[in-house]
Structure 1
């Protein structure tokens, strides 16, 4: 019996050793497609397009990104991308990092000639690769045929199209694209390329295609083109997370969120989500300019953001630009209730809570300190 146990133990040890070796070889293989950059990068980079991770050796978030970054390097090589993937220790080469505007770690940038584009999206392999593909390509991509338009429409949930010839509007479109290409795709087409269901009152025109329909930019109603694109680059209804809420801060909109438990199939949770979806769709013309709609799974993030304890399910309306929020003191049972809530926010009859005043900042310091203490107590209890 002892011999058998020893034999099993030996086999197990060899298996673990083999798995460890394979894992290390796999990690080394992936790392082989990410170049370690040094001071020579400053002079040699302009002949190529580079996707660079500026990191600090002591940074926890940087260490978490490292295996993902290695996968990005491998995938970019496999798909034959012209973009080279590298990483630079921004503490060892601080002057170069500073020249590229690196202020924190990790910082991801795509460097293309004299241009440097910041990546602010989720730190996932697919999202980073999508960013690199979008930004490294043409600023305005032509749609020469209806077939190409249909292909783009199937691939992208939101995209913008300029229709027409040379014009002052096209110049504004190019300027907006150069600023916002980090977020979305920009195309150009002739009128005969767009679908027959699209009706244009005048040419040239800028359109956004999303939510299974389209919307036309109106300079008189919508104001600055770049601001309009910033507002319209999101679908009308979103599944919210912390990253998206941060991004929505640039739109100037209030964000109406159904905070639910997606695993809970009870009528209270599913109904609230449906109500928000209904208002987002049916009242777009009334509220789209001022409100973004969506839902969030769970209340952990919202509770931390608001320094409050929200009961799930509930609806909260956030002002992401000044950290104010609105809560209703009664249950929302239908779309009519939600519309009334929104109108009361607009006319000022619902009082805003929170904000970024000195008092609120002090409250945040105390809240964060208490949260840290609770975390360490729970950690010690379970260790």
Structure 2
């Protein structure tokens, strides 16, 4: 075989390679997409499908090395499943020279650039460019099977996790059939949340579950003493799927992975979260009051304060999960709170903040005890404590500016200089107005004097 290959001219081998690639594309192959058909192709993808897109340029040498890898994989997977509509992992290419709109939309700079999309969520492929690397990526992104658990296993999961999201369905039910949105949501958030499935009878034996709804998705946590609690169940938004009551629990049979993921993200932060510039505004926009435990790690009362705050969160956070979200704020890593909310130096403090209205609630000289904190929160929910406005004009804008400063470092200060200069120039103050009035009087006097001298 080798002597035969050696006797074939080099140009003939290249021609055969070109013909093979052309035939592969003609018979199916990697999808070649452009500005006109890209959006429709992505929109028509099944929710569980994953599309890996190669943004390339014909003259790019690295792109030329990747092309045969993708063609080989496409040919191999086409042999396994000839029907492209039945394959969940798909490949596509976009020539950025012919499709400048897509290049601009995705901000393509370095080539080749591999992006992937699943259930409307885009990501950047960070792995290698070899055949084995992309195969490994495909295996890693395959749907994660939901583990069916009994009462003992569910109890163990809840005690070892912050929260467990349980699909209530019969043991012989296939999650990919009865609740495909939940299965895909579990796959997309497998590193952030714990999912499993169990029967309605198991949940009922633990005092949990939703009667009359199947399949249902519930959140299970371990309360004090290890007893399992169910603080929430999947609900639709008001007026969707024929449900007019926004507190009604509904079946997840037709729920999309996007709605399930949104619900899971809200419920994951039902207990205490460590707040930072990265997640503060995102968590605050979930529509719940933020109960903030502000502390100084060097203060002697911090340890006892955090324990009391955690006990309050485990109780109030479960009973009022739809209205309250608990988080801790380290004054060292988030110093903007000191000035914005008048946090006293060195002392732990509890602040209830409403991001939507830029208002907050606090109680000075509050004893750091469970009963005192819970009474304060109940009074806030009942409207007995008046809201206060931060010392700055807007807590939301103050946090955003502070977040930019934290992220941008010295560059953010350079960007703020022209803003401050514009404010200084165009914003009137009484002193500046008096100075301008005096200057106008001087100029008027000089002008009148000049006119008199001219007339003389």
TM tier, smaller: 0.5 to 0.7
- Residue number in structure 2 paired with 1:320: 355
Q: How does 1:196-345 map to 2 (within 5 A)?
A: 197=206, 199-200=208-209, 202=211, 203-211=214-222, 213-215=228-230, 217=233, 221=247, 226=260, 228-264=263-299, 266=300, 268-284=301-317, 286-301=319-334, 303=336, 307-311=340-344, 312=346, 313-345=348-380
CA contact (8 A) 1:207 1:214 kept: no
Query: In 1, are the aligned partners of 2:360 and 2:390 still within 8 Å (CA)?
Result: yes
SS in 2 for 1:242: coil
**Does the aligned pair in 2 maintain the 1:205–1:217 contact within 8 Å?**
yes
Query: SS where residue 276 of structure 1 aligns?
Result: helix
- Indicate if the aligned counterparts of 1:261 and 1:269 stay in contact, CA closer than 8 A: yes
Say whether the 8 Å CA contact 1:262–1:297 is kept in structure 2.
Answer: yes
SS at match of 2:334: helix
Are 2:386 and 1:350 equivalent residues in the alignment?
yes
Aligned-residue RMSD, C-alpha: 5.6
Quote how far apart the aligned CAs of 1:199 are: 3.7
Q: Which has the larger radius of gyration?
A: 2
Q: Tell me the residue number matched to 2:450.
A: none
| Aligned 8 A contact 2:209 2:218 in 1 | no
Aligned to 2:102: 96
| d(CA) in 1 for partners of 2:169, 2:149 | 14
Counterpart secondary structure, 1:142: coil
- Name the SS for the 1:318 alignment partner: strand
Q: CA deviation at 1:290?
A: 1.0
The answer to whether the 8 A contact 1:257-1:295 is kept is yes
**TM-score, scaled to structure 1:** 0.52
Cα distance between partner residues in 1 of 2:352 and 2:158: 31
Question: 1:243 aligns to what SS in structure 2?
Answer: coil
1:328 CA displacement? 2.1
TM-score by length of structure 2 reads 0.45
More moved, 218-227 vs 338-347: 218-227
Measure, in 2, the Cα distance between the counterparts of 1:228 and 1:48. Answer: 22
- What is the aligned counterpart of 1:158 among 163, 166, 183? 163
| SS of alignment partner, residue 322 of structure 2 | coil
Q: Displacement, 1:150?
A: 7.7
Residues 1:153 and 1:94: Cα distance change in structure 2 (over 3 Å): farther
- Ranges in structure 2 where 5+ consecutive residues have no aligned partner: 1-29, 43-48, 55-88, 90-95, 125-136, 236-244, 251-258, 415-456
Residue pair 1:303, 1:309 contacting (<8 A) in 2 also = no
Unaligned segments of structure 1, at least 5 residues = 1-40, 53-82, 84-89, 120-131, 377-383
Query: Deviation digits for residues 92-143 of structure 1, max 9, x if unmatched?
Result: x97335545x69xxxx997246743469xxxxxxxxxxxx9999342x7322
Task: Give the match for residue 93 of structure 2.
Answer: none
- 1:353 to partner: Cα distance: 1.6
Question: Distance in 1 between the 2:388 and 2:268 partners?
Answer: 27
Question: Residues 306 and 347 (structure 1 numbering): CA distance in 2 closer, same or farther, change over 3 Å?
Answer: farther
Q: Deviations over 1:239-272 (max 9, x none)?
A: 32233323313431111121112243x2x32332
- Give the drift of 1:284: 4.0
In the alignment, the residues of structure 2 paired with residue 232 and residue 293 of structure 1 have an alpha-carbon distance, to the nearest angstrom, of: 12
Cα displacement (A) at 1:276: 1.6
Aligned residues: 282
